[in-house]
């Protein structure tokens, strides 16, 4: 599943598509289009222009032209390709790359292309994405931003559910949330408004440290908890049998001994 770390790699790849004139927009699968939902309008506003910046907020990739912003969301299995290079070698839950699964592509006047590859058809392309509906980006999350995101209302929703709420913090998905909470020693079902000042600081330090570390290792599936996310899995810190619960509607693995 492309999480923040994967989308950041797509963003870096998309920089290879900046300042190149767009010659054509080909929509192989109109299902991926939102606002506008017709290929003709998208073509009319993009052809003859060039992207000037590739930005990211959470899992939303934004490509700016001088006049407008194109937003790309990658769903469960979306991959960005530029000049036939994929943004990631292969996602954990995604089969390999296949021409049949290209949903949308741009041809540059110089002969190259940018394409969205997505087997499960959950990725979306649209103009003027609502960037402000997203919370602060997790990669640069400050202590003050995390305090605001968690709130002080007691009990508040479960801590993990709040971290997954993209309107509160943008970019943390299921695997990253479990990894961060395991490292920080905080129980996923704990009410988010119940954390002490030192606990909020600890959580913020682990958000900021975990993301670059996993990025360097190759993605959100490279966490220390990953290999133990199965029945019989044990905590690598203390050997305790991990628990599997549903928190915030998502499968959650956690250690009942050191996560409090």
Q: Which stretch binds Zn ion (CB under 5 A): 25-33, 35-43, 168-176, 240-248?
A: 240-248
Candidate list 235, 247, 248, 253; residue touching Zn ion; CB under 5 A: 235
Contact between residue 6 and residue 75 where contact means Cβ atoms under 8 Å apart? no
255 binds Zn ion (CB under 5 A): yes
Residues 6+ apart with CB under 8 A from 153: 193
Candidate list 76, 92, 122, 257; residue touching Zn ion; CB under 5 A: 257
84 binds Zn ion (CB under 5 A): no
238 binds Zn ion (CB under 5 A): yes
Identity of the residue, 101 or 182, whose beta carbon is nearer to Zn ion in the bound complex: 182
**Could you tell me the two tokens for 211?**
């993301």
Candidate list 237, 241, 245, 250; residue touching Zn ion; CB under 5 A: 237
Q: What is the C-alpha to C-alpha distance for residues 24 and 249, in angstroms, rounded to an integer?
A: 41
CB of 190 to Zn ion, least distance (A): 15
> 53-57 and 79-82 as β-strands: parallel, antiparallel, unpaired?
unpaired
Cα–Cα separations (whole angstroms), residue 24 to 40, 118, 141:
11, 20, 38
**How many chain residues touch Zn ion (CB under 5 A)?**
7
CB of 237 to Zn ion, least distance (A): 4
CB of 234 to Zn ion, least distance (A): 8
**Could you tell me the two tokens for 191?**
């009410």
**Can you say whether residue 35 is alpha, beta or left, with left for phi > 0 and alpha for psi between -120 and 50 degrees?**
left
Q: What pairs with residue 82 in β-bridges?
A: 85, 114
132 binds Zn ion (CB under 5 A): no
**Chain contacts with Zn ion (rule: CB under 5 A):** 235, 237-238, 240, 255, 257-258
């Amino acid at each position: 599943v492309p999480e923040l770390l994967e989308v950041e790699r797509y963003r870096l790849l998309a920089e290879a598509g900046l300042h190149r004139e767009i010659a054509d927009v080909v929509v192989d699968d109109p299902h991926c289009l939102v606002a506008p939902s017709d290929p003709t309008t998208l073509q009319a506003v993009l052809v003859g222009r060039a992207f000037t910046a590739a930005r990211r907020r959470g899992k939303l990739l934004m490509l700016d032209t001088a006049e407008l912003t194109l937003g790309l969301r990658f769903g469960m299995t979306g991959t960005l390709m530029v000049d036939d290079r994929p943004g990631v070698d292969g996602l954990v839950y995604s089969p390999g790359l296949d021409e049949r699964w290209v949903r949308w592509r741009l041809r540059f006047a110089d002969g190259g292309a940018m394409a969205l590859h997505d087997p499960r058809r959950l990725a979306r392309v649209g103009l003027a994405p609502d960037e402000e509906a997203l919370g602060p980006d997790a990669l640069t999350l400050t202590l003050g931003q995390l305090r605001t995101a968690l709130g002080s209302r007691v009990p508040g929703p479960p801590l993990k559910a709040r971290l997954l709420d993209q309107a509160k913090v943008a970019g943390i998905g299921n695997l990253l949330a479990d990894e961060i909470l395991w490292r920080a020693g905080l129980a996923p079902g704990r009410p988010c408004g119940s954390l002490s000042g030192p606990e909020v600081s600890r959580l913020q330090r682990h958000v900021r440290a975990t993301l670059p570390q996993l990025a360097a290792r190759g993605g959100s599936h490279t966490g220390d908890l990953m290999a133990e996310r199965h029945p019989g899995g044990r905590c690598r810190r203390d050997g305790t049998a991990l628990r599997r619960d549903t928190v915030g509607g998502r499968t959650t693995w956690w250690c009942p001994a050191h996560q409090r």
